[in-house]
Amino acid sequence: MRRLFLHPERIDDDSENFDYHLTSCDRVNTTSSHPTACILLIGGGEEDTPGEEAATRWFLNNADRGDYLVLRFGEIGSQADWICNNYQKFVSSSAELAINHRKAANNPRVIQYIRDAEALFIAGGDQNKYEDNWEGSAVEEAINYLVNHKKVPIGGTSAGMAILGDYYYVPAHESVLSSEILNNPFHPNTKDIYYSDFIKVPILKNVITDTHLDRIDQDHPEPRYGRLFGFLARVVHENNNQFPFFGIGLEEGAFVAVDNGGIAKVFGNGRGTGEDAYFLQTNGAAPEQIQPDLPLIWNHNGQAVKVYKISGDPEGSGHFDLNNWSNAAGGTWEYWFTTGGMSGFTRKPIRS
Cα 39 to the chain's mean position, in Å?
Answer: 9
Exposed/middle/buried for residue 89 (C-beta within 10 Å: 0-12, 13-18, 19+): exposed
Phi and psi (nearest 5°) for 162?
A: -55, -45
Long-range interactions of 187-192: CB distance < 8 A, separation 24+? 190/230, 190/234, 192/128
Bond into 244 cis (ω within 30): yes
Say yes or no to pLDDT of 1 above 80: no
Which pLDDT band, with edges at 50, 70 and 90, does 242 fall under? confident
pLDDT tens per residue, range 160-174: 999 999 999 999 888
Which is it for the CA torsion 328, 331, 336, 342, positive or negative? negative
Strand order in the sheet with 276-282: 193-195, 167-169, 207-210, 246-250, 276-282, 305-311, 332-338, 345-349
Among the listed residues 206, 136, 100, 220, the one whose alpha carbon sits nearest the alpha carbon of residue 171: 220
Which pLDDT band, with edges at 50, 70 and 90, does 6 fall under? very low
Higher-pLDDT residue of 167, 220: 167
Treating both helix axes as pointing N-terminal to C-terminal, what angle do 138-145 and 108-115 enclose, rounded to 10 degrees? 10
CATH architecture of 8-164: 3-Layer(aba) Sandwich (3.40)
The CA distance from 280 to 249, in Å, is: 8
pLDDT tens per residue, range 247-294: 999 999 999 999 999 999 999 998 878 999 999 999 999 999 999 999
At 314, is the secondary structure helix, strand, or coil?
coil
Which pLDDT band, with edges at 50, 70 and 90, does 83 fall under? very high
CB count within 10 Å of CB 327 equals 12
Say yes or no to pLDDT of 30 above 60: no
CATH code 3.40.50 region(s) in the chain: 8-164
Do 258 and 316 form a contact (C-beta atoms < 8 A)?
Answer: no
Higher-pLDDT residue of 242, 132: 132
Q: Any idea how long the chain is? A: 352
Phi and psi (nearest 5°) for 304?
A: -60, -45
pLDDT tens per residue, range 33-74: 899 999 999 999 877 889 999 999 999 999 999 999 999 999
What value does the mean pLDDT of the chain take? Answer: 92
pLDDT tens per residue, range 8-25: 455 666 557 999 999 877
Do 271 and 246 form a contact (C-beta atoms < 8 A)?
Answer: no
Treating both helix axes as pointing N-terminal to C-terminal, what angle do 79-87 and 50-61 enclose, rounded to 10 degrees? 80
To the nearest whole percent, how much of the chain has pLDDT over 90?
85
Which pLDDT score is estimated for 273?
Answer: 85
Give the chain's end-to-end CA distance (angstroms, integer).
52
DSSP label at 289?
Answer: B
Treating both helix axes as pointing N-terminal to C-terminal, what angle do 138-145 and 127-134 enclose, rounded to 10 degrees? 110
Give CA separation, 244 vs 134, 207, 324, in Å.
Answer: 29, 10, 11
Do 254 and 43 form a contact (C-beta atoms < 8 A)?
Answer: yes
